[in-house]
Amino acid sequence: LSQARAGIISTVEVLKVMEAFVNEPNYTVWSDLSCNLGILGTLLSHTDFYEDIQAFVRDVFSPIGERLGWDPKPGEGHLDALLRGLVLGKLGKAGHKATLEEARRRFKEHVEGKQLLSADLRSPVYVTVLKHGDSSTLDTMLKLHKQADMQEEKNRIERVLGAIAQPELIQKVLTFALSEEVRPQDTVSVIGGVAGGSKQGRKAAWKFVRDNWEELYNRYQGGFLISRLIKV
């Protein structure tokens, strides 16, 4: 990917190499593939090829997703749990039909208190239902945030809210970022999630930061959070 970004080789060559990793079992390798495909997705989000790259993600990640399944198997280690979360989140965001349906089913049971999601499945399920959700999905997530008694769960929800796709709901998330519901040090995570969620989110987050620059700058002064905000 570094060579493709430098213009030395074609991005097609990168995609061909990625296809060779379908039987890869290692979390670190999949994490790298996921990150690189995320970069390509961002670059292609303004082109007609965006849906093609999403289809490519589904093709590359679905075999490992089927092998891992949704539930832990005996003898699995910590990295297997991380890999499952990574793969299911990637497939869910890319609109993999079976993953989306199962995520919605499990989310419903979680919200109703019938079967709570394990910690490692919450982020991928949340991000999947939000990416393909509506205003009621967002309202449910904000309700879960309000009810959460652990800061870890609040942060987990804050990081994924930006996955929501509709412009008016993106604005609602950005307004929420500056509300008293979110700790000042966590506001950046919410805005960053919006910026990384979609091309509409990126534009909206950039406008929001400019419109609210004075408040954000006064809040963080010259600290590392202001530089992180600009970076995201």
209-220: pLDDT as tens digits? 999 999 999 999
The residue among 122, 162, 128 whose CA lies nearest residue 144 is 122
28-84: pLDDT as tens digits? 999 999 999 999 998 898 899 999 999 999 999 999 999 999 999 888 888 999 999
Looking at the chain, list the stretches that DSSP marks H as alpha helix, in order from N- to C-terminal side.
2-5, 11-19, 27-44, 50-68, 78-93, 97-111, 119-131, 135-147, 151-160, 167-177, 187-197, 199-211, 213-220, 224-231
Given a cut of 90, is residue 232 above it in pLDDT? no
d(CA 38, CA 32): 10
